[in-house]
Homo-oligomer: A and B are copies of this chain.
C-alpha cells in the first residue's frame, strides 16, 4: 500500500471527527482502506478526568489498544493529553476555569510510515466546542496527539 500524506494517521483521525453525517461512512471506508483501526465517540464535561476516561474506555472496549499492556496505555495517554493541549490552549483545565467542552473524538491506530520498522502509531483527534457552561456561549476547538505505540 502506498502511504501518501493523503492517508496520514493524523489526517485520518481529524477527518473522522470533522465529517458531517453524510460524509462519515465514506470517511470510515477510506480510513479502513489505509489499514488503520479506529474508534470514534462523543464526550462532554466540565471535568477533564471524564474526558480522558471516556476516550481511554472507548479505545479499550473497541480493542484499539490492549489495556493489559502499560506501553499501549502510556502511548494512548500521552496522545490524549497532547490533543487536550490543542483543545485548551494554555492551561489544561476545564471546570476549574469555568468552562466546559462538548467533543467528538477518534482514536486511530496503524502504520503511517512506509518503512515497516517504524511500526505502529496512535493518533487521537478531538473536535467540538469549548466555552462557558451556558448553551451558545462557546466556539469550536480541536486537538491532535500522535505517539508511537
Query: Within the assembled complex, what's the spacing in Å between the Cα atoms of A144 and B129?
Result: 12
Which B residue's beta carbon lies closest to that of A82? B89
Query: Within the assembled complex, what's the spacing in Å between the Cα atoms of A132 and B73?
Result: 9
- A96 touching B96, Cβ below 8 Å: yes
Smallest beta-carbon distance A4→chain B, Å: 9
| Residues of chain B with a CB closer than 8 A to A113's CB | 70, 136
- B136 touching A146, Cβ below 8 Å: no
Instruction: Name A140's contact: one of B10, B93, B149 (CB within 8 Å).
Output: B10
Question: How many of these chains are in the complex?
Answer: 6
Interface string of A102-121 (1 = CB under 8 A from B): 00000000001101011101
- A53 touching B98, Cβ below 8 Å: yes
| Residues of chain B with a CB closer than 8 A to A89's CB | 82, 85-86, 145
| Residues of chain B with a CB closer than 8 A to A149's CB | 148
Question: Which A residues have a C-beta under 8 Å from some C-beta of B?
Answer: 6, 8-11, 14-15, 18, 20, 48-49, 52-53, 56, 69-71, 73-75, 77-78, 81-82, 84-87, 89-93, 95-99, 112-113, 115, 117-119, 121, 123, 127, 131-132, 136-149
- A132 touching B92, Cβ below 8 Å: no
- B148 touching A140, Cβ below 8 Å: no
| Residues of chain B with a CB closer than 8 A to A132's CB | 73, 77
